[in-house]
Amino acid sequence: MGMLWASLACFAVAAAGGATLAMMYYGQQRRPMPLAVAHGVAATAGFFFLIFGFFRSGSSGLSALIVALFASAAIAGLLLLASHLRKRSWHPIGLVIHGLLAFLGLTLLFARIATENA
Amino acid sequence: MRLFGHPIHPPLTHFPIALWIASFACDLVGAAKGNAEWWTMGFWSAVAGLALALPTAVTGFLDYVTLPDRHPGERTACIHMATMLASTGLVLVEVLLRARPGIPFRPILVLVLSGAACVLLFLGGWLGATLVFRHGVGVER
């Protein structure tokens, strides 16, 4: 369970960074690269903790769904990073999909940890 | 990205592709025969493919972001990347569902995920070949 808590903490930090980046994007402000890197590093760490946590605590259908959601969010995030590095403008839909998938994954992860502890 | 002047990504791609196709084939035989050893082989092939997918994805990503501006293969490369990453995600979920070697708890779901990953691999591999043979990505002229 410790791994899953660590994963939740990393994802929470990543979510805070991601929300800040999204607000800057919609406010047409320049997004600082260190914040984007911190967001990516926190999310990657969270994903690794999640995988190891589920392997250690035993996986279920819900665990697979959570991993699928975060994996899809990661793919969308990588595509956003690639377009940024190629100096292409982001499609707002891509940003919304990335955020929604990550938010859903985070909510389900929180629910899974809460029900295990109850 | 090159090593001793040779592109690294194309040779690396063979390993996850071969291992995941082998994994699906082993799972199919395991399901047909009800034999845990085939399922175990399928499990470890999928895990080995995942381990090798990491350097493959990193080198591919670096190749994509360093493509020249307005390259004709840019859109194909983006779809190739998305397809291959989606395939990797499916295998990751499949491995997590299996959790351990042997006959999985949900064999049909595992087979569906593994099969879907192979379909995406085929499409992604096709697009990768298009990048090399049509758009000349990584080719010295």
**What single DSSP character describes residue A31?**
P
| Regions of chain A short of the pLDDT cut 50 | none
A-facing residues of B in 72-101 (CB < 8 A) are 74, 78, 81-82, 85-86, 88-89, 92-93, 96-97, 99
- pTM for the whole thing? 0.87
Give the three-class secondary structure for A85.
helix
Q: Cα angle vertex B58, ends A16, B141, to 5°?
A: 135
Q: What value does the mean pLDDT take over residues B10-38?
A: 95
- B100 to chain A, minimum CA–CA distance in Å? 9
- What is the reported pLDDT for A91? 78
Residue B30's nearest CA partner among B10, B44, B51 is: B44
What are the phi and psi torsion angles at B105 (to 5°)?
-70, -35
Query: How many other C-beta atoms can be found within 10 angstroms of the C-beta atom of residue B94?
Result: 29
The answer, for B64 touching chain A at a CB cutoff of 8 Å, is yes
Q: Identity (one letter) of the amino acid at A67?
A: V
| Residue B141, pLDDT above cutoff 70 | no
Question: Which ipTM score applies to this complex?
Answer: 0.79
Alpha helices in chain B (DSSP H): 9-33, 36-65, 74-98, 107-133
d(CA A76, nearest CA chain B) in Å: 8
Interval B30-64: pLDDT, tens = 999 999 999 999 999 999 999 999 999 999 999 99
A59 DSSP assignment: -
**How far is the alpha carbon of A106 from chain B, nearest alpha carbon, in Å?**
17
A58, A61, A68 ranked by CB distance to B89: nearest: A68
Separation between Cα atoms, residue B85 and residue B89, nearest integer Å: 6
Q: Evaluate whether A39 touches A11 at the Cβ level (below 8 Å).
A: no
Q: How far apart are CA A39 and CA B80, in angstroms?
A: 25
User: Could you tell me which residues come within 8 angstroms of residue A65 by beta carbon, excluding any fewer than 6 positions away?
Assistant: A108
Say yes or no for a CB contact (<8 Å) between A51 and B96: yes
Q: Tell which residue, A7, A36, A45, has the closest CA to residue A95.
A: A36
Spell out the domain ranges in chain A. Answer: 2-117
The pLDDT score that the predictor gives to residue A49 is 95
Give the residue from A57, A65, A67 with the most B CB atoms within 10 Å of its CB, the best one to mutate: A67
pLDDT for position A118: 66
Diameter of chain A measured on Cα atoms:
47
What is the distance in angstroms between the Cα of A40 and the nearest Cα belonging to chain B? 14
Best to test chain A binding among B50, B70, B80, B96 (most A CBs inside 10 Å): B96
Q: Any idea which residue has 């096709």 for tokens?
A: B126
Quick check: B92 and A71 CB within 8 A? Answer: yes
Segment B57-86 mean pLDDT: 93
What are the pLDDT digits (tens) for A11-24? 999 999 999 999 99
Q: Which residue has the tokens 């990550």?
A: A102
Helical packing angle, A92-117 and A33-57, nearest 10°: 40
The answer to whether the Cβ–Cβ distance between B97 and A64 falls below 8 Å is yes
**For residues B58-74, average pLDDT:** 91
- Subunit contact B78:A82, Cβ cutoff 8 A: yes
Residue whose tokens read 């999909």: A97
Q: What are the tens digits of pLDDT across the range B81-135? A: 999 999 999 999 999 888 788 888 889 999 999 999 999 999 999 999 999 999 9
- pLDDT at residue number A6: 96
